[in-house]
Amino acid sequence: MCALRSATIPICFAAPPLVGNDAHISSEEHSVATRKTRLSKHPRIDPRPIDKRISVTDLVDRTFLAYNAARLREACQLFTRRMLEDDVTVGVSLTGALTPAGLGIAALIPLMEHGFIDWMTSTGANLYHDTHFGIGLSMHAGTPFADDVALREKGIVRIYDIFFDYDVLLQTDAFFRTVIAAPEFQKSMSTAEFHYRVGKYVHERERLLGQSGRSVLASAYALGVPIYTSSPGDSSIGMNVAAMALQDNQLAFDVSRDVNETAAIVLGAKRARGKSAILIIGGGSPKNFMLQTEPQIQEVLGIDEKGHDYFLQITDARPDTGGLSGATPAEAVSWGKIDPDMLPSTVVCYLDSTVALPILTAYAVANHARRQPRRLYDHREALLAALTRRYQQTLKQRRR
């Protein structure tokens, strides 16, 4: 990744060769020159002092020089300079309780509005808590050192240092049950279709409340960004869908369609002579669900492919304990998830997502022009049809 770093950070000058009039240089001077030559490809650590005028870009490029700060600099530069090129389709996976902390409003929605996110996978919990903001409910800054028994008695729910009224859950549950009862939901559908249809209702609620840009679901609906959930039963949204099933509601999630649609998005990006980039916020099931698109294409469907072109992950997990979901970039190559030729274009930043994501967003917004939204939701049927045709061709070739 030296090419990324050296693009913005001053490097040492290489020493000139010892020829001509320089032949009289002492052995000590020759040794110093040799050392300088050896290090000439590496940026010198020589930051500018931080003052009140420093921008986010300069802070990242000029002062994030080592350790995980350097990885964050590499992440910002990789995302902005390579992953946001016009021919790259960007997928984002989301885990951790980020939307309750307001990061949907602060970071994810601006990224979508700038055309920097083309499709997503997320935990259902993030989308459930995202809905609170869209329908006019509030979350509050609290403390992680509260007495939870006392909070329970007061009807206050805690997510680490976030507080909200228990009634927020009840009102959000009621919203989902009302929406799910609508005729358009009485069928089997992918989670992308489900979130798109729910997003339409949240978007309308925002309009009635005189607000906008409060909900990831509503913004994804408006921008045509498909959002998938790898474990749709594992959230309060899934719990309410299950409750409605006891009342003969016909909504069912088609997880096979989710697998095939996401694979079709990636294959479509590659077959259009473009690239596929993956930004992983956290890890877990959404991460694997997004990365497994390439093994689905190559291993299961037998379609010739090489893997995602760009891999950028922000995580606080470790690979040696199994908490990194078995997929560092190098390890992912062995599964066919990452193109081995593109392994140098990967970054893993071991940092709290609540710190890294806002900085990454600010850096990208400041340094890259808006991209035209791809509206991949609108192209799902065509992409899936193309994947199906390619798979059928592969099956015919196998039978010969």
Q: Which residues carry out catalysis?
A: 337
Q: How far apart are CA 57 and CA 2, in angstroms?
A: 18
List the one residue out of 301, 297, 309, 300 whose CA is nearest residue 273.
309
Q: How far apart are CA 113 and CA 308, in angstroms?
A: 24
What the block records as the tokens of 394 is: 């592969």
Distance of CA 202 to the CA centre of its chain: 22
Q: What is the largest CA-CA distance in the chain?
A: 93
Q: How far apart are CA 274 and CA 95, in angstroms?
A: 27
Angle at Cα 254 formed by Cα 253 and Cα 256, nearest 5°? 145
